[in-house]
Amino acid sequence: MSTSGSSAGPRKLRVATTSLAGCFGCHMSFLDIDEYLFDLLDRIEFDRSPLTDLKHCGPCDVGLIEGGVCNAENVHVLREFRKNCKTLVAVGACAINGGLPAQRNHLELGACLQEVYAFRDGLSGSGIPNDPELPLLIDQVHPIHEIVRVDYFLPGCPPSGAAFRAFLTDLIAGRTPRLDYPAIRYD
């Protein structure tokens, strides 16, 4: 344990973030905490994240996941986060309920692919892409809690900067995160 008055302060929490089937809007909103980001950086350090450009996640305290699961790669990334993060947080509507990408869930995947790659002007005849480099699509988009255990949920589309701030403040302080009324939002 660090002793009081130590200039190093408490150990920084290691945080990883990623976006699966999301729009990075949650990440943008995270940055809306503005100058609090500086305070935050005294308390946390980033592992894998679009902010660091690290491609893989090492052992972390907290993983923040934006976006739902729509393809095989999303599953791999999600499992990597679950394996490495002590606390996994579903951030935003898509991670929590599939969100906009899940609007395809009532359509048959084959029909979706046909519509785009066989019938649409300009793309018709190009065939459905089958390059092994491309992540293969799952038949339905799933929120992340249907694939792995999730510890906390931070709703919103996106969650506001204030919600991020309140949530992370609690987490860093070792409290169960709790949002006050106006901060809980699904839109």
Partner 1 sequence: MSGQFQLDGQAVPFEDGQTILQAARAAGRYIPHLCWHPDFPPHGSCKLCVVKVGGRHLSSCAAPAVEGIEVESDTAELRAERRALLQMLFVEGNHFCPSCEKSGHCQLQAQAYEHEMMSARFAYFYPPRPVDASHPDIVLDFNRCIFCELCVRASREVDGKNVFALSGRGIHKHLVVNAESGRLADTDFAADDLAANICPVGVILHKRQGFRVPIGERPYDARPISRVELAAGGREADE
Partner 2 sequence: MDVEASVREVVGRQGRDATRLLQILIALQDRLDWLPPAAITAVAAELGLPRARVEGVAGFYSLLHGTPAGRYRIRFSDNITDRMQGSEALRKRLCHLLWTECGKTSEDGLVSIGTTSCTGMGDQGPALLVNGRAVTRLDAARIERIAELVRGGVPLDDWPAEFFRVEEGIRRRGPLLGTPFEPGSALRAAIARGRTGWGEEMARSGLRGRGGAGFATATKWQACRDAPGADKVVVCNADEGEPGTFKDRVLLAHEAERVFEGMTLAAWATGARTGFVYLRGEYRFVLDALQAVLARRRAVGLLGMGILGEAGFDFDIEIHLGAGAYVCGEETALLESLEGRRGTPRIRPPFPVTHGYLGRPTVVNNVETLALATWIALEGGAAFAATGTPRSTGTKLLSVSGDCARPGVYEFPFGVTVAEVLEECGALDTLAVQVGGASGVTLAGHEFGRRIAFEDVPSAGAFMVFDGRRDPFEIAHAFVEFFAHESCGFCTPCRIGTTLLKNDLDKLARGVGGKVDLANIEWINRLLRNASHCGLGSSAPNPVEDGLAKFRPAWERRLRSLEFEPAFDLDAALGPARRMTGRSDPGAHLDREESSQ
Binding site for partner 1 (CB under 8 A): 90, 93, 96-100, 102-103, 105-106, 140, 142-143, 145-146, 150, 152-155, 157, 178-179, 181-182, 184-187
Structure tokens at 84: 């490495």
Q: How far is the CB of 107 from partner 2 (least distance, A)?
A: 11
CB < 8 Å & 24+ apart, contacts of 168-171: 168/40, 168/44, 171/13, 171/62, 171/87
Amino acid found at 172: I
Among 56, 83, 120, 178, binds partner 2 (CB under 8 A): 83
Contact with partner 2 (CB under 8 A) among 41, 113, 123, 184: 113
Task: Report the alpha-carbon angle 73-153-44, nearest 5.
Answer: 80
Contact partner, 49, from partner 2, partner 1, none, Cβ < 5-8 Å per class: none
Q: Is 55 helix (H, G, I), strand (E, B) or coil?
A: coil
- Window 123 to 182, contacts with partner 2 (CB under 8 A): 128-130, 132-133, 135-140, 146-149
180 class by beta-carbon count within 10 Å (0-12 exposed, 13-18 middle, 19+ buried): exposed
Cβ-based nearer residue to partner 2, 19 or 74: 74
Binding site for partner 2 (CB under 8 A): 72, 75-76, 79, 82-83, 108-110, 113, 128-130, 132-133, 135-140, 146-149
